[in-house]
Amino acid sequence: MSERKYFGTDGIRGKVGDSPITPEFVLRLGWAVGCLFKTKGQRSKILIGKDTRISGYMFESALEAGLSAAGVDVGLLGPMPTPAIAYLTRTFRASAGIVISASHNPHYDNGIKFFSSTGHKLDDAVENEIERRLEQNIKVVESAELGKAFRVNDAEGRYIEYCKSTVPSSLTLRGMKIVLDCAHGANYKVAPLVFEELGAEVIPVAVKPNGLNINDGVGSTHPESLVQAVKDNQADLGIAFDGDGDRVVMVDQDGAIVDGDELIYIIAANRHRTNRLGGGVVGTLMTNFGAELAFAQLGIPFERAKVGDRYVMEMLVRNGWLLGGEGSGHIVCLDNATTGDAIISALQVLLAMWQEGRTLGELKSGMTKLPQKMLNVRVAKKFDPLLNPLVEREMRMVTDRLNGQGRVLLRPSGTEPVIRVMVEGFDAPLVHELVEHLAGVVAKASSD
């Protein structure tokens, strides 16, 4: 199947009520997945978790009905971070795990993503098979074979203990004051408990989800309120998660935002110094050039994958490395988790602070971010700027003007008809001038 109808780069996602994010479709999806993952001759179970958006109730029920119709038992986890569902799927020996979430999107969006029995995201061949089965009519198993649903009551406690186990038992956060921004999302219960149980004084914010306020001006995509909270409370640092708990951004004691690129650098540098890095680091095409320079200075191998955590993961596995991620704060520590985990990534940063006796601000000072500017240019759907002679010529001109002191990147968005035009370099005014110029060239070429 070359052109997939439903699956994108991270499951199936869209606006609630618009195809395919409808109860009817999700019912069929549950049935198709249940049929695919059902083990012959024995009862199979699939776990379902969700974030805090209001439509989660509706889609949880639809999935449950579809899975039951296929003859699969269903374990309901309730609101839990995405990486917790990956972990619990493994520990329960479930056939698969399903997450109802649209990650950092607003409440009116939702999506469905899947984990295999090993806690990894599904590969393309499995997703293609699900799409094929979606074209079939639902056939309900005999009444005696229908799946049963059960609630997993100790899910939170299991995951909290697992998070704590990823750092040495001697680590203590006693004496630290941490502001936690949980985005009114899936981490609202478990995250404060993890850091409190490790000894920190936790000031939780955005921990009152009402179904509509997830990611609304809070969380890793809106860290401005966390900056203010860190200053107001004179905290040692702040930690912001996104709605489903797989992204993390931090704020140092002075109120400076520490993004995913800088957090990956801090973890990598600490592991390098303590001989725990296990190879190199994988970033993406959007990783700040300053990170690449900092890794080179430490002698740490660094490679860029395509944008998207699945491509980071593929390159990590191919290279046999353990650490990678994106500037958005989606960080993968493969020795601790099978997918991006915001709590575990934050704990790795705190471990570095504890082992080195330095503040967050001091640890990030080893990397200097280069000025980077990105503009989105709306284009006709099939326009490829790299095949346009005018764009190609102007890209060469921009590259020449940077004189080896920066990067140029043109990248089509995976979700909308937009070309992302990015320029970075040491000279901020020049970066702004060049990105404006190149964006204008792309816009003109696409309309000709």
* Count of helices and strands (H, E) across the chain: 14, 18
Residue intervals in the chain for CATH 3.40.120.10: 12-153, 174-256, 259-369
Instruction: State how far the alpha carbon of 432 is from the alpha carbons of 111, 138, 429, in Å.
Output: 36, 55, 5
Per-residue pLDDT tens over the stretch 371-424:
999 999 998 767 888 889 999 999 999 999 999 889 999 988 766 789 999 999
Query: Taking the complete model, does pTM exceed 0.95, yes or no?
Result: no
Max Cα distance, the chain (Å): 72
Instruction: State how far the alpha carbon of 285 is from the alpha carbons of 292, 308, 312, 440, in Å.
Output: 11, 10, 10, 22
Q: At 205, which helix (H) or strand (E)?
A: strand 201-205
Q: Which class would CATH give 372-447?
A: alpha beta
Mean pLDDT of the chain: 95
**Residue 4: its pLDDT value, please?**
84
For residue 162, give every residue at least 6 positions away whose Cβ sits within 8 Å of its Cβ, in sequence order, or none: 87
**Six token digits for residue 86:** 């990956």
**Residue 416: its pLDDT value, please?**
76
Q: What is the Cβ-side half-sphere exposure of residue 446, based on CA atoms within 13 angstroms?
A: 20
- The CATH fold assigned to 12-153 is Alpha-D-Glucose-1,6-Bisphosphate; Chain A, domain 3 (3.40.120)
Per-residue pLDDT tens over the stretch 189-237:
999 999 999 999 999 999 999 999 999 999 999 999 999 999 999 999 9
For residue 236, give every residue at least 6 positions away whose Cβ sits within 8 Å of its Cβ, in sequence order, or none: 176, 177, 178, 253, 359, 360
pLDDT at 2 over 60: no
Q: What are phi and psi of 180, to 5 degrees?
A: -110, 120
Q: Which class would CATH give 174-256?
A: alpha beta
- Residue 393 class from Cβ within 10 Å (0-12 exposed, 13-18 middle, 19+ buried)? exposed
Catalytic residue IDs: 103
Residue intervals in the chain for CATH 3.30.310.50: 372-447
pLDDT at 65 over 50: yes
- Of 32-36, 242-246, 304-308, 380-384, the poorest mean pLDDT is in 380-384
Segment 227-255 shows an average pLDDT of: 97
By the 8 A CB rule, do 165 and 153 touch?
Answer: no
Pick the closest to residue 299 from 327, 275, 317, 319 (CA basis): 275
Q: What is the DSSP letter of 359?
A: -
- The CATH fold assigned to 259-369 is Alpha-D-Glucose-1,6-Bisphosphate; Chain A, domain 3 (3.40.120)
b/e sequence 411-448, b meaning 16+ C-beta within 10 Å: bbeeeeeebbbbbbbebeebbeebbebbbebbeebbee
**Residue 415: its pLDDT value, please?**
66
